[in-house]
Amino acid sequence: MQINANVCGFFCIFAPQFGFIMTRIKDYFHLVRFAHTIFAMPFALIGFTYGAYVSGGDAYTPGRWILLLVQVVLCMVFARNTAMGFNRWADRKIDGENPRTASREIPAGKISPRKALAFDVINAALFVITASTINSLTAWLSPVALFVIMFYSYCKRFTSLAHLVLGLSLGIAPVGAFIAVTGRFAIEPCILALLVMTWCGGFDIIYALQDVDFDRNHGLHSIPSKFSARTALAISLGLHMVSIASLVWFVAFLPQHWFLWIGCVIFVGLLLLEHLLVTPSRQKNIGIAFGTLNGLASLTLAVFVIADLLV
């Protein structure tokens, strides 16, 4: 009975603090939209696996492969946290004025701007440190990657091409993962980066349709705020056509087992479905097109491409 009383006392004392900590962690996860790593992470794993494929599976010991994979995943997480956290900090005033984003963590007062910026600095430092433990090229390029992913946050203030800058920031992932394995550049991961840049840029245009009126009234630049919804969706479709062409180009370097083409067909089908769900006159499905379909597209393609390389 005494033990139970002690346990109950311990729970009563520390449960509120534990609940507070979990709430704060949840707030930071929401701040960086951690679930959205599903967009770039699968392509980073493709870049990693392709690097292993071209360098030879016996290039490292099994333990070294596992360590290298952990390092790459950590770099992805730290870079993602830096990019999204900085974006939320830079846009805190804009988000507060936009009814759609006013409930985000910083304008809603859940996380202070100072703490958000400190979170960014910590993640940026962890990214550089982790990248520096991989090889010399990843060490030298880590500040360049940080510049690109943070520069995006200010692009919509002066250019409608911000969508492509966002795509470029995600397209860095497969190139960085390839370099982590091989220690060099190659054309293949750059093709994959082009795929990611145009794919992401295309679906970000669709996502930006939600803020057309707000962007126009506040002098913010985007493809939808510059053109009509029909033209913006046509540009988005054009970018996705480039994504499909880039996929075909990249597949030319792969072993090309029959199931690889199934994965490619599914990826292309999901992109086309996205454009069938969102039209100039029907935009209520933007959330499904942006989050669900693109998440499925990246995951599906990664599974089939990695399986093709491993087999």
Q: Is the pLDDT of residue 16 over 70?
A: no
Is the pLDDT confidence value at 32 over 70? no
Backbone angles phi, psi at 218, to 5 degrees: -110, 10
Q: What is the pLDDT of residues 89-98, one digit of tens each?
A: 999 999 999 9
Angle between helices 136-155 and 113-132 (to 10 degrees): 150
Per-residue confidence band for 23, with pLDDT thresholds at 50, 70 and 90: low
Check residue 33 and give its pLDDT.
Answer: 65
Residue 295 has pLDDT above 80, yes or no: yes
Could you read off the pLDDT of 143-179 as tens digits, one per residue?
Answer: 999 999 999 999 999 999 999 999 999 999 999 999 9
- Is residue 9 over pLDDT 60? no
| For the chain, domain boundaries | 39-310
Count each helix (H run) and each strand (E run) in the chain, helices first.
14, 0
Q: Which of 181, 178, 156, 157 is nearest to 166 (CA)?
A: 156
H-run or E-run covering 291: none
Per-residue pLDDT, averaged over 206-220, amounts to: 94
pLDDT for residue 174 = 96
pLDDT band at 283 (very low <50, low <70, confident <90, very high): confident
pLDDT at 278 > cutoff 90: yes
DSSP code, position 161: T
pLDDT tens digits, 123-132: 999 999 999 9
The overall average pLDDT reported for the chain is 89
Q: What is the mean pLDDT of residues 75-102?
A: 93
pLDDT at 8: 57
Residue % of the chain over a pLDDT of 70:
87
Q: Quick check: pTM over 0.85?
A: yes
Confidence of residue 186 (pLDDT cuts 50, 70, 90): very high
Asked which of 6-15, 104-113, 166-175 is least confident by mean pLDDT, the reply is 6-15
Task: Tell me what pLDDT residue 292 has.
Answer: 86
21 has a pLDDT exceeding 70: no
| Residue 88 reports pLDDT greater than 80 | yes
- Asked: is 39-310 a CATH 1.10.357.140 domain? The reply is yes
Helical segments of 252-293, H only:
258-277, 286-287
> CA 37 to CA 251: how far, in whole Å?
23
252 neighbors 304 (Cβ within 8 angstroms): no
CB under 8 Å to 129, separation ≥6 — which residues? none
Q: Of 267, 59, 89, 82, which is closest to residue 183 (Cα–Cα)?
A: 59
- pLDDT of 251 higher than 60: yes
Position 20 pLDDT exceeds 60: no
The per-residue DSSP string of 76-144 comes to HHHHHHHHHHHHHHHTHHHHHHSTTTTTSTTTTTSS-HHHHHHHHHHHHHHHHHHHHTT-HHHHHHHHH
Does the pLDDT value for residue 246 go beyond 80? yes
With cut-offs at 50, 70 and 90, classify the pLDDT of residue 284. Answer: confident
